Amino acid sequence: RPISAEGGATAFKKRAPQRDTLHITRMKNFIRSLLLLIAVIVSTTGAQEEIYAKEGQDITLKPISYPAQSYVYWYFEKQDGHQLAWVNHLGGKGFNEKWKNSLSLTGTSLVIKNLQKGLFGTFFCKITAAGQSDLITVFNVIQKSASPLLSGDNLSLTCSLGSVPQNTPEIYWVSPQGNREGNKGTVDIQARSEHNGQWDCVVKKNGNEKKFPVSVTVVDLAPVPSHLYTSTDSPLTIPCSLISSVTWEQVKKKEIEEVQWHFAPKLSSGTSPDQPQQLFSLDLEKLTWKKNANNGLSPVYYIKNGNLSLTKSKATVEDRGRYTCSMKFKNGRTLETTVDVVVLEIIAHPKTELIYGQQVNLSCSTGEQLPNDMKLNWTSPKTSSSYISYPTHITVPEVGKEDNGKWGCELWQGGNKLTSDEILLKIEPRLSVWMLVIICSAAVILLLLLVLAFIHYRRRKVQFSRSYSFLFNHTDLLVQL
């Protein structure tokens, strides 16, 4: 039977809701399939998150979105390893007996209270739902130092992303100096000054690279050279300071007990005494230095900036020797730096003020025999006469006007000039203008003295003659009476 246009229209209107329902049903199935696909992809690749925390801190591990009707399991160290807690959509939950006092659940999120050393590592969250693949989320909890490390303490860094076994990423650490460190994402070494600064955990996977920075603070003294070279013509600064970015407040947290400077002078035999003398000690409350010996050195007084150096306007040969800067802590550990001060000196014999024709010897020395890889170079005025050169001194047989000026001695090691010293020679003619003036002046003065003496003598003689004549005349008068 043919359907009328009206009837057809009516039939269409009646079937439309059924088609909408079918369309909605298909969309739901498509979305459900898409969610399932996403779940499978996440399960295969593994969602990963890194959390940096300090010991004693509270942290929350929150998994990615999950199906409404699901079971959530939390594991530690490895997938399906030590189960820490579980929760389901029916309200049931449970905790591992060992860690139940440190754990709680907020929904499906795992809360770790007062994080302790044993719980730094990798956590796995597995979400299971009917008809779907397991959804895995991985959390790597990396420890940040709660307080600065003291040089010599154990520095332990771990970076483990807890990936599923397939296509495991390459993990390593990069030190503040840019060096690759560690084995399989783990660094376990004794902390030193070069370890202070930012470390990067580098994760490489599928051609991609990601860095996770961690700041490490190591309380230590900055490295100093074993030998410090200067001369009697140069200032002296003996270095001692905290490494960069370390503050005095951080030093105090490590319970500093004392800071001192000691000095062992270099003896003529080339050795140092068994008992060095104490130069300075630091008052830790007032942050002022107490001087225990007077050798011309002074502290720079930048203690809060970590500078503990000593300084002097000009070095002397008495400054030769070994200097030790030490910081002692209550745990018995001591940080110290030691430097040997080498002072170069030029000596002129017989003296620096000479006259034409005299012989002069210039010796240059550090007070001890030079190593084989060191040598001395001499410098002289451009117009200087020829001289005889020896390993440690030179001789000018007859000095002249051209030798007047600065003579220098340089200490070299390989291609590096370590230090230099200078001495000024003053050469005068045998009878210089000033000498003639002095001689003439002396002669004139002597002549004047002789003239004055002669005049004085003549006056005395005349006075004596007059007195004698007066006496003679009066005596004659008395005789006549």
Residue 66 CB partners (closer than 8 Å, separation 6+): 72, 108, 127, 129, 135
Answer whether the bond into residue 273 is a cis peptide, omega within 30°. no
Q: Which two tokens stand for residue 8?
A: 């057809």
What whole-number distance in Å separates Cα of residue 106 and Cα of residue 84? Answer: 14
Is residue 235 one of the residues assigned to a domain? yes
Please give the single-letter amino acid code of residue 237. T
The tokens describing 138, both together, are 């991985």
Residue 19, domain member (yes or no)? no
306 and 232 inside one domain: yes
Beta bridge partners of 214: 199
| CATH, residue 284 | 2.60.40.10
Of the residues 96, 122, 140, the one at which a domain ends: 140
CB neighbour list of residue 360: distance below 8 Å, 6 or more residues apart: 348, 349, 350, 354, 395, 396, 399, 403, 425
328 and 363 fall within a common domain: no
Residue with the two structure tokens 């300084």? 311
Per-residue pLDDT of the chain (481 residues; tens, 9 = 90+): 333 333 333 333 333 444 455 444 554 444 343 333 222 223 333 467 878 777 778 899 988 767 778 899 999 988 878 899 999 988 899 998 888 888 999 888 999 998 887 788 889 999 988 878 888 888 888 776 557 899 999 998 887 655 444 567 788 899 999 999 887 788 989 999 999 988 988 888 788 888 888 888 999 999 999 999 999 989 999 999 999 889 898 899 899 999 999 999 987 665 667 789 999 999 999 999 999 988 899 998 888 889 999 999 999 999 999 999 999 999 899 999 999 999 999 999 999 999 888 999 999 999 999 999 999 999 999 888 888 988 889 999 999 989 999 999 999 998 999 999 999 999 988 765 666 778 888 889 988 888 888 887 777 777 666 555 544 454 453 444 4
Please indicate, yes or no, whether residues 257 and 336 belong to a single structural domain of this protein: yes
Q: Is residue 21 part of a domain?
A: no
3 within domain boundaries? no
Q: What DSSP designation does 193 have?
A: G
Task: Give a yes or no: residue 35 inside a domain.
Answer: no
Q: Last residue of some domain: 89, 124, 140?
A: 140
- Residue 479 domain flag: no
Q: How far is CA 231 from CA 238, 261, 314, 419, 425, in A?
A: 13, 22, 8, 7, 18
Domain that holds residue 57: 48-140
- Of 341, 374, 399, the residue that ends a domain is 341
